[in-house]
Chains A and B, each alone.
Chain A
Amino acid sequence: MSCIYDFSILSTTSLSCIRVSEMSAGTLESLVGQTISVITNDGRIIVGVLRGFDQATNIILDESHERVYSTKIGVQQLVLGLYIIRGDNISVVGEVDEELDASLDLEKLKAHPLKPVVH
């Protein structure tokens, strides 16, 4: 917990950070505290609670787990805990609709894993 706290102090004391994030329409501010699903450039899907972010889309995810998709067995969930993901490696940040998510039968959901991003 202490590292999350420290990060919030860092981001609020750095004025330039604040100005940049106010400028950018694409801010993730509205998602802080919510469960989000992050798709990384290597095709992994990590679900967790958004605790912090910055203008480079670096992200702090709490209580996170990875959802591993495969065609043979249903979705597997691997517990990861507190994660910091570097913005470079992030493709999509999605707000998870808890109701919809609860209605999904992940154990029966089969799909190819996402392909990695090719620039």
Chain B
Amino acid sequence: MAPPLFVGDVTLPLQFLDRKQSRTQSHAMLFFSYFKDLVGREVTVELKNDLAIRGTLISVDQYLNIKLENTRAVDQDNFPHMLSVRNCFIRGSVVRYVQLPPEGVDVDLLHDATRREARGG
């Protein structure tokens, strides 16, 4: 198994940002860093085709593409299409929701980061 990427050490997302970066880019970076912090956790990803996949978050990239391990469809009876898939890559553009474990959300930190973002750094 490949070593898990980006585990820990990214708790203050904005300090890495180059101030010259455009607003949209830094927004994307905020959530990118946020998801990197969730690596190793169990998440449920709901896609824009109504398929919901649950699995362990392995990695995320700048497009918010997601890699999951030990995957299963949440509703396997109605969605047996991925029965033989235990490991998958989800394109960021088709993700509707990511359901997070409650303990994986540091609300205060996220508040701070988004407010800082809204102020423009």
Interface, chain A (partner B; CB < 8 A):
23-28, 30-31, 37, 39, 41, 43, 45, 57, 67, 69, 87-88, 90-97, 100-101, 104, 109, 111-112, 114-119
Contacts and interface: CB of A to CB of B under 8 A. Distances in A.
Interface residues of B, number: 36
Contacts of B62: 23-24
A57 B80 contact: no
B47 A92 contact: yes
A28 B85 contact: no
Contacts, number: 107
B34 to A, nearest CB: 14
Contacts of B66: 26
Given A92-B94, A93-B88, A24 B61 contact: yes
Query: Which DSSP category, helix, strand, loop or mixed, fits chain B's interface?
Result: mixed
Contacts of A104: 83-84
A117 B65 contact: no
B63 A24 contact: yes
Interface string B58-98: 01111101110001000000111111111111111110000
B94 A96 contact: no
Nearest to B53: A92
B85 A37 contact: yes
Contact of B81 (A30, A41, A45, A118): A45
A108 B24 CA distance: 48
A48 to B, nearest CB: 14
A49 to B, nearest CB: 15
A96 B81 CA distance: 11
B94 A117 contact: yes
